[in-house]
Amino acid sequence: MVDCCNNLPGNPPVVRLVEPEDPTIGDPYVYGAERIFTVSVNQIATLKFYLDGTLVQTFPNVTEASHPLQIPLLGVHTVRVTATNANGSGENYWTWSIFVTPPEITRVNPAGPEVTDKAEASRLFKVRSNQYAIIRFYLDGDLKQESPVPTQNASYRHESAPLGVHVVSVVATNTNGSGQNHWDWTVYQECFEPAGPYLTVQFSHFRCGLPDCGGGEGPWLSADCLQNAIARYARAGHSTPYIDKLSRHYWRVRDGCPEHCYVEQIFDLDIYIASVTNGSLVPPFGHTICAEHLGGSVKEFSNWKFFQFANLDIQPGDQTHMPRGTETEDTKVQIYKVIGIIDCVTYDRKDPEVTFLIDKNGTVTPEEAEE
């Protein structure tokens, strides 16, 4: 409310700081950010806002005014407001310090720190930085994506969620330093009932046990890609000669899921086991998958069908199963015929039936055998 007595001649206007109320303030430097300054005056007057002596805004015949100011450069600045009318003039001011702080990363999607997904699901991670910065995404410490230019918004999509508990971390870096945030990402596998020749699930546990699929015994062991490949060969391939040992092998998707024998059914397809390697990738790549010979020359890549986990049609360039080569090394796909089952963990083989090389462009050629 304006006090009419203050409008008497000889009583100049009085400027009061409303927001911020404190005359001494400080803010971190954030490009493009603003702070709003608000004052009131005890009589109608023309208010003028100045930043370091430069007029930035005028409000004629008011008793209150607000004005946003963009965060200035580092240092100490003065925001001054004058009030002028027929009774004279008054003023007040803030001392505004701008200082350096590292960028802050805010999770946008998912907003919370805990994330849960089914295996093989696609998951989008999205963040916002309060400063322009180079933003990098890491999965379990491995760099997955980096923004090409400084930005405030960035996202990373992981197309095939890997089983287990993972940490997705985000780091924003600029001349002010680095800030980071993270998600704890749990990826689980649903229970699965096999049907048909192909197992379209990644199981987590295996063990040995009684013969003739009489049941597993002892503790469950962690299953990797090799055990998943052997189980797929046992079910889909020419595994009858090795049924005595394979009928002692068991798998389950995870805790709480039912146990399955490797040879509950045998479909007698022409299945092989393939090794996929490339030592020049970071980290070095090594993986085991299955290969089905569809007929024709074994040296024709198109005569093979590659599969593992939920993917029944693995193609060159698949970063999970068959990545492309690099400038220094082709990715090597070696296809082996199973000639025996050694134990509950591995299989016996001879030299590869054929080896394919995948270059940096995804072009596939058979490797010529040394004479």
| Averaged pLDDT, 291-297 | 97
Tell me which H or E stretch contains 189: none
pLDDT for 369:
59
Arithmetic mean of pLDDT, 282-311: 96
Residue 36 CA to residue 50 CA, distance in Å, equals 13
> What is the average per-residue pLDDT within 192-220?
94
Instruction: Give the Cα separation of 125 and 120 in Å (integer).
Output: 15
| Mean pLDDT value of segment 241-267 | 94
Which CATH architecture is the domain 105-188 placed in?
Answer: Sandwich (2.60)
Of 200, 172, 174, 15, the residue nearest 105 (C-alpha): 172
Cα–Cα distance between 358 and 82 in angstroms, integer?
A: 73
Residues 6 or more apart from 79 whose CB is under 8 A from it? 37, 49, 50, 51, 69, 93, 94, 96
**316 CB burial (10 A radius; 0-12, 13-18, 19+):** buried
8 against 33, higher pLDDT: 33
Rounded to whole angstroms, how far apart are CA atoms 335 and 351? 9
Average pLDDT of the residues in 130-157: 94
Looking at domain 13-99, does it have CATH number 3.90.1170.50? no
Residue 164 has pLDDT above 50, yes or no: yes
Q: What integer pLDDT is reported at residue 165 of this predicted model?
A: 85
pLDDT above 50 (res 85): yes
Does the model's pTM come out above 0.75? no
pLDDT at residue 312, as a whole number:
96
Nearest to 97 by CA among 167, 40, 26: 26
pLDDT in tens, 345-371: 889 999 999 999 999 999 999 998 554
Residue boundaries of the structural domains of the chain: 13-99, 105-188, 205-366
User: Among candidates 100, 115, 102, which has minimal Cα distance to 169?
Assistant: 115
- What is the side-by-side order of every strand in the sheet holding 249-252? 221-222, 205-208, 249-252, 260-261
Res. 2: pLDDT tops 70: no
pLDDT at 265 over 50: yes
Classified as helix, coil or strand, 301 is helix
Q: Calculate mean pLDDT across residues 287-299.
A: 97
Q: What is the pLDDT of residue 21?
A: 95
The answer, yes or no, to whether residue 136 has pLDDT greater than 50, is yes
**How high is the pLDDT of residue 256?**
83
Of the candidate ranges 15-24, 67-76, 361-370, the one whose mean pLDDT is the lowest: 361-370
Percentage of the chain modeled with pLDDT above 90:
80
Mean pLDDT of the chain: 93
H runs (alpha helix) in 29-147: none
Domains 13-99 and 105-188 share a fold: yes
